Structure 1
Amino acid sequence: MKTRQKNSVQGRTPLVLFLALYQLAGGLVGLGLCLKMIPALQQPSTSTWVGIVLAAVLYTFSILCGFLLFQVTRQAFLFSLANQILQVFSFGVTGLAYNYVAGLKVGVGVDFLTSWVFKLKFSLSSFTFSVGTHTGASFVAVNLLALVLLYLLERAKEAANV
């Protein structure tokens, strides 16, 4: 028991602490924005409530990942990696759209409306999930910051030797 606790404390490098705090903050901001939006809704549909619950679950997952990462366990790194993987790609095609960001998004993407338009995208804790809507959105984007965080999580995991 003491050995595991000792390894946990030794694994709490500044990088691990940063990654834990980043996930906590991103999840808290996202959850706060989600909760702030609810009073502004006027007669929300069932699908709107499903989207809000899904967003709240993902932001809560990000918060959980941050808390777990303070313990520097293998499971914490696996959950954190999954959390970042969910944030790498966002897309919209006929009737289906997905975007999840818990923290910051520094992304590059292509919009396919009338022609190919390359875009640089910045956002703070955002969520979009729609099925069967005809928004006309056709895009693909990659969150470069999530890719960097995946790399940093892998390095921190190796350094913590978990």
Structure 2
Amino acid sequence: MEKITPKIKYLGFYQLIGGIIGILNTIRFLPNFTQINGGIFLLLLAIFLLYSFSVFCGYLLLKKRNIEGLNLSIYNQLIQIVGFGVLGYAFHFTAGVYGGIKLNLTNDTIINFMFGHSMARIDINNLNGFTEISINFIAIILLNLIFNLKSEVEKVAEA
């Protein structure tokens, strides 16, 4: 258990800090809205809830509630793997660091590399009409790490 504890702690801090940065980034952009109607309020609420979920996952891991924290962290990372935009609808979410590729399929197939931190985008009926898909490799790596940590924690719990 001594070898896996620091990894779980680092993962907890990563998710906690990534969620907090995302919340702060979202708050920073609130003054850009001249008016917040019901639809925008719901989108902002969804973004805040997603970032809060990441903070909660990190909190559980730091409080050594490992099984529960790792189980929820799996869902947290699954949400962050694939982003898309099609027919005016889009979803991209990352709490922490993202890095991967984005395929823009609007007119031609254009491959872009992407790298950054804590971002959220939810479009509903946006008129720009772009078509894209993105894959976050860092979330895939973290998901693999979480499954390995979960396996190790379960082995220690059985012993």
| TM-score for the superposition, normalised by structure 1 | 0.89
Q: CA RMSD in A?
A: 1.6
Q: How far is 1:74 from its partner?
A: 1.8
1:7-156 superposed matches below 5 A: 10=2, 13-70=5-62, 71-156=64-149
Q: What CA deviation, in whole Å up to 9, does each residue of 1:52-81 have, x standing for no partner?
A: 111000000000000111224322111001
Query: Structure 1: which 5+ runs fail to align?
Result: 1-6
Q: Matched residues in 2 for 1:83 and 1:72: separation?
A: 16
Q: Matched residues in 1 for 2:119 and 2:112: separation?
A: 17
Equivalent position amino acid for 2:38 in 1: T
Equivalent position amino acid for 1:54 in 2: A
Stretch deviating more after TM superposition (125-134 or 68-77): 68-77
**How many residues were matched structurally?**
154
Stretch deviating more after TM superposition (35-44 or 108-117): 35-44
Q: Secondary structure at the match of 1:115?
A: coil
Equivalent position amino acid for 1:60 in 2: S
| TM-score for the superposition, normalised by structure 2 | 0.90
Q: How far is 1:95 from its partner?
A: 1.9
Stretch deviating more after TM superposition (97-106 or 46-55): 46-55
Stretch deviating more after TM superposition (10-19 or 51-60): 10-19
Q: Matched residues in 2 for 1:32 and 1:85: separation?
A: 22
Kept in 1, the 8 Å contact 2:67–2:153? The answer is no
Among the aligned pairs, what percent are the same residue?
A: 26
Q: Secondary structure at the match of 1:13?
A: helix
Kept in 2, the 8 Å contact 1:93–1:137? The answer is yes
Q: Matched residues in 1 for 2:127 and 2:100: separation?
A: 24
